[in-house]
Amino acid sequence: MARKPARSDFAVSLSNFHNDQSTQSIAGTAVVSRIASVLNLKVPIDPKQKLSDLGSGLENWDLALKLMGYPPFYRDGLILQKQDVENVSTVGALGDLVFGWYRQNGWSVQ
């Protein structure tokens, strides 16, 4: 009878990595706090506040790049699409894109 080859350590680790990725969770308050920190906003955030009124002089995509480069978001792998970001005008809509990314990437947002 032929022996079945043993799974390599790499294959086992890769399998565990993918399983771990699909079960991660994050508190919604943590996401809001991160966004507030990056955009220099005080909590509670007004979701209707226009991005153009933030006073930073940055365009939407620049704000998205700041979010994606913020260490906690960067470690999570946050990636926003330029077209999506260019189509939002409020802090709430930008936040919805961030929350949407977490959900679309298998995170449980609590």
Q: pLDDT, tens digit, for every residue of 50-64?
A: 999 998 889 999 999
Where in the chain are the domains? 26-109
Q: Which CATH number fits domain 26-109: 1.10.1200.10, 3.40.50.9100, 1.10.287.3510, 1.50.40.10?
A: 1.10.1200.10
State yes or no: cis peptide before 44, omega within 30 of 0.
yes
| pLDDT at residue 32, as a whole number | 96
- Please give the Cα distance from 6 to 79 (Å, whole number): 36
Give the rounded percent of residues in the chain with a pLDDT score beyond 70: 80
CA distances from 71 to 11, 57, 83 (A): 29, 22, 23
Question: Is residue 101 very low, low, confident or very high in pLDDT (cuts 50, 70, 90)?
Answer: very high
31 φ/ψ angles, rounded to the nearest 5 degrees:
-65, -45
Half-sphere exposure of 79 (CA within 13 A, CB side): 3
| pLDDT at residue 86, as a whole number | 97
pTM: 0.79
- pLDDT tens digits, one per residue of 23-77: 799 999 999 999 999 999 998 999 999 999 998 889 999 999 999 999 999 999 9
